[in-house]
Amino acid sequence: MKPNSRSRVAALLTAALSVGALQGVPPAAASPAPHPVGQAPAAIAPAAVGQSAGQSAGQSAGQSAGQAPPHAQPEVPPYAPPDARARARALDSADRALSARAADLRTGDGDAFRRPAVVFGPRGLQYLTYERLHRGLPVYGGDVIVATDRDGGSVLAVTTGQREDLDEVGTKPVVTAERARATARDLLRSVTGQTAPRLVVHAAGVRPRLTWETVVTGASAEGPSKLHVYVDAADGSIADRWDDVRHGIGHSHYNGDPVYLDTSGSPGSYRMTDLTRPGLSCAAPNGTVFSGEDDEWGNGSATDLETGCVDALFAAQHAWDMARDWLGRNGFTGDGRGFPIRVGQNFANATWTGSGVWIGRNESATRQLTSLDVVGHEYGHAIFEYTSGGNGSGNESHALNESTGDIVGALTEHYVNHPPELDEADYLVGEEVELAGPGPIRNMYDPASLGDTACYTDDVPNQNSYKAAGVQNHWFYLLAEGNRTVGKPQSPVCAGEGVNGMGIRKAGEIYMTALNLKTVPWTYAKVRLATVQAARALYPGCAELRQVKDTWDAVGVPASDSEPGCPPESQDFAVNLAESNGIIDQGASTTVALRTRTVGGHGQYVDLSAEGVPEGATVAFSPNRISSDADSTMTVTTSATTPPGVHTILVRGTGTVSRTASYRLTVTPAAPQNDFSVALDRDQISVDRETTATLTLTTATTAGAPQQVALTAVGVPDSVSVTFNPAKITTGQSARVTIHPSKLTPYIGYPVTIRATGASRRTAALRLTVRDPRPDDFSVTLLPPKATVEAGNVISTTLRTSTVAGGRQRVTVTVGGAPPNATVTANPASIDSDSYSGIKVTTSAATPPGTYPITVTVTGSVTHSATYTLTVVPRPVPAWRAYTAYRPGDVVAYNGSTYRCLTGHTSMPGWEPPRAPALWAPVRRGG
């Protein structure tokens, strides 16, 4: 940021209590008038950065939104809920309906219904939803809804989504839970979380089947995803899937193109209103929410208002998600509410108004202030206001409010974690928006570099709130990253030898917990005490508590007499099972490894026992007494009388305290009296398109008498023909299996299951690979293909390889054409096609400016290359600063001129280069 521009901005600072701004408050001529929380401010003049010519519609300026007609009467509630007797009567009526309508509801011998969830509709109508279980397993699509009148005595409707009965659906999977987990994970490009697969009968389709249900969160090619997946437990195919996330497409300026937004509406009428985060929307300066016929927004321009809303809504949605996932906070208010955004304000600032976020442009009107950290900063004010004590009073409270905005902005950037070419995760505030020229507005790891306060002194309560915010910004950076972490900016400490960081997510969790203890007036002394209390409450032991204390010491905030010390160490341990789920037949047994570990105090003896053991089963431990930090083996043995279904066994360890772990045991019916086995002569086969392969399938009678079985194949696409000769055999006989892919079959592998169905069903697994007869080949792409870097800095790009013919192969990556005094490396240098390698360019201060074509060559069965065009620009000359150690040869800028250091020294006020010719010599052009 240019010094004179920063001075102009600093001159605008005022202690406004009702409006939280990014940097001071806007000039009076352009500022919205302060207003009570919840009251909409008046519209202001159109934005200087230009109105979008794209999608925006809504009320005209003359309309009054939500204005009640004259003499409007209060709305009468459409119903009162039924009384307790009516509710009980409805339950009885619904239970009778389930029994009377069993055939219509496809109810089988193995089905049961759980007591219903009840909701009330208009006029007091009652709706009772029963969850169906089949042999103890949940049935997706099998719910039954019974509707009654208000009185509960008359059944109005009985309905279910289930289409067929479940008598033929077994409960013993062929496919393992781990295989189902992997199959589901492969559906997303990246995975951040996944629920443990559970057995569910899927009855929403035309053919009920046993499936593994799991929910995978992460990202697909279209953006964030929360994918529900049902994997067929017999053959591993995908039985069903759907995504909770609906995406609008946005063309962003700061966040890449495209981005995906949670919007609302339907074809022909979409709005930039997020119904999944109540209260969150994005509008033009007059408050009209952007709308359009399609769900595609913006054009990527820095001055387009709709693009501003793309970036602002993207940032707000991710700030909300960060608060939920990292800070445990429900919305910005803590009770699930958000606030609207207006972009295009005609002032060089961004503000929190108390009821929403108003976004302006930079001083040169070339960009809107909608970067991740700026938008996150404004919603940080909302979080601060909606924790106990509100905004509070006093200058320290205002400074801590401003710092909270910077902290939330940094947390949002790190949560999104953009690559360097976008708005990457850092601890600089507003460096992308160029508010008053190039450079950040504030620097959290070195506040003094921009004139803010880095260390607490008695003068801080009297300082401007933006300047005084630097102390807490500095503390948060040190708590998250430490003062000398490799790969992170070095941060000076005010006292002590230095501190280590605990990570930004953990630091954010402690800070949010402290905000929940906020009281009026909020001061640095109070926030230190609250963060120490938060560390003690969140983390057992003393490590985090000491880190918080040491970090406040490092920025000069002293401890109070009431500050807690390390908690007394209690005797405690944890009990863990190697597997939390098990599936066995009646009469069979299974073993599970059990481990204890000491989590507090010293080791102790632990006695093991089990609760909730099903009838006819036993649980034994070997040994049944162990020391904490030791292992045991749990053996679960069932009998013929153990009921099939799902049973939860509670494993208890008892020492000075009692700790438990749960084991979910699924007991399946014993094998039928007449049984058989099925096998293929090989478990994998490769075949070219339009050619034929054959296998031999054999069966054997393993129990009782031989039986006739029918042969089928599942898991193959329609373009592959699988035939059996004969298609029906008696167990003990063999059949010929013929596989013929057509010319349309994709060149991939297929998990095929061969089924033999008689009195029971048995399967054999086959891995079918359809080969590509073309020679192996691949493509290479650099993402991005060009970039600009300052001499002395490091920059990187990503090499992506994709198999385009034949099979995946191992390739080597080499680089050439490095600029002078620079190095180029590939990591890893050997990868599979369809993989990635990082290309890193490390320049030095001696690397001459210019444009350099760097060649990345990838060699396998063939060789391909791509060119990375790197432009090296001179490193900017740093400004002269007081209290800085300089060495001979160092070059600085002062008042538009450049100077070279003649004698090593630590600069002092009054030793500016023109005043100290013994220390500094002017650098002439070309010198």
Beta-bridge partner residues of 735: 697
pLDDT average, residue stretch 16-28 = 41
Q: How confident is the model at residue 22 (pLDDT cuts 50, 70, 90)?
A: low
Amino acid, single-letter form, for residue 191: V
Looking at residue 51, its pLDDT comes to 37
Looking at residue 56, its pLDDT comes to 33
The closest alpha carbon to 262, from 214, 314, 325, belongs to: 314
Residue 687 clears pLDDT 80, i.e. is over it: yes
Residue 916: partners with Cβ closer than 8 Å, 6 or more residues away: none
More confident residue, 640 or 698: 698
Residue 724 clears pLDDT 90, i.e. is over it: yes
Looking at residue 825, its pLDDT comes to 93
Q: How large a percentage of the chain has pLDDT more than 90?
A: 45
Looking at residue 377, its pLDDT comes to 96
pLDDT average, residue stretch 159-177 = 89
Q: What is the CATH number of domain 84-160?
A: 3.10.450
Least confident of 438-447, 464-473, 574-583: 574-583
Q: How large a percentage of the chain has pLDDT more than 70?
A: 89
The closest alpha carbon to 371, from 476, 324, 441, 322, belongs to: 441
Looking at residue 25, its pLDDT comes to 37
Looking at residue 599, its pLDDT comes to 76
The model's pLDDT over 840-861, given as tens digits with 9 standing for 90+, comes to: 999 998 899 999 999 999 999 9
Ranges of each domain in the chain? 1-54+246-370+377-393, 84-160, 177-243, 572-668, 675-771, 777-873, 885-922
Q: Are strands 296-297 and 259-261 parallel, antiparallel or unpaired?
A: unpaired
Q: What is the CATH number of domain 885-922?
A: 2.10.10.20
Tell me the angle at which helices 395-416 and 465-481 cross, rounded to the nearest 10 degrees. Answer: 40
In whole angstroms, what is the distance from residue 521 CA to residue 719 CA? 73
The model's pLDDT over 856-886, given as tens digits with 9 standing for 90+, comes to: 999 999 999 999 999 999 888 889 998 888 9
Contact 110, 201 (CB under 8 A): no
Looking at residue 668, its pLDDT comes to 79
- Domains 84-160 and 777-873 in one fold: no
Torsion sign, CA atoms 65, 69, 71, 77: negative
Q: How far is CA 888 from the centre of its chain?
A: 49
pLDDT average, residue stretch 814-819 = 95
pLDDT average, residue stretch 502-512 = 94
Residue 486 clears pLDDT 50, i.e. is over it: yes
The model's pLDDT over 676-686, given as tens digits with 9 standing for 90+, comes to: 899 999 988 98
For the ranges 153-162, 201-210, 245-254, 727-736, the one whose mean pLDDT is highest: 727-736
Whether omega before 258 lies within 30 degrees of 0, making that bond cis, reads yes
Looking at residue 247, its pLDDT comes to 55
Looking at residue 585, its pLDDT comes to 81
Beta-bridge partner residues of 779: 802
Looking at residue 2, its pLDDT comes to 30
Looking at residue 220, its pLDDT comes to 67
Classified as helix, coil or strand, 414 is helix
Q: How confident is the model at residue 224 (pLDDT cuts 50, 70, 90)?
A: low
CATH superfamily of 572-668: Immunoglobulins (2.60.40.10)
Residue 536 clears pLDDT 70, i.e. is over it: yes
**Model-wide pTM > 0.85:** no
**Is CATH 2.40.70.10 what the domain over 777-873 is classified as, yes or no?**
no
The model's pLDDT over 648-661, given as tens digits with 9 standing for 90+, comes to: 999 999 998 899 99
Residue 43 clears pLDDT 50, i.e. is over it: no
Domain 675-771 classification at class level: mainly beta
More confident residue, 23 or 274: 274
What is the topology classification, in CATH, of domain 177-243?
Nuclear Transport Factor 2; Chain: A, (3.10.450)
pLDDT average, residue stretch 409-421 = 92
Burial class (CB in 10 A: 0-12, 13-18, 19+), 243: middle
- The helix or strand, by DSSP H or E, that contains position 546, with its residue range, turns out to be helix 543-554
The model's pLDDT over 363-403, given as tens digits with 9 standing for 90+, comes to: 999 999 999 999 999 999 999 999 987 877 778 889 999 99
Q: Phi first, then psi: give them for residue 428, nearest 5 degrees.
A: -100, 140
Contact 268, 262 (CB under 8 A): no
pLDDT average, residue stretch 520-538 = 90
Looking at residue 885, its pLDDT comes to 87
Beta strands in 535-657 (DSSP E): 572-577, 581-585, 589-600, 605-611, 618-622, 625-627, 631-637, 645-654
CATH of 1-54+246-370+377-393, one of 3.40.50.720, 1.10.357.10, 1.10.10.10, 3.10.170.10: 3.10.170.10
* Averaged pLDDT score across all residues of the chain: 84
The closest alpha carbon to 542, from 569, 509, 515, belongs to: 569
Looking at residue 23, its pLDDT comes to 54
Classified as helix, coil or strand, 582 is strand
pLDDT average, residue stretch 625-649 = 90
Torsion sign, CA atoms 513, 515, 521, 525: positive
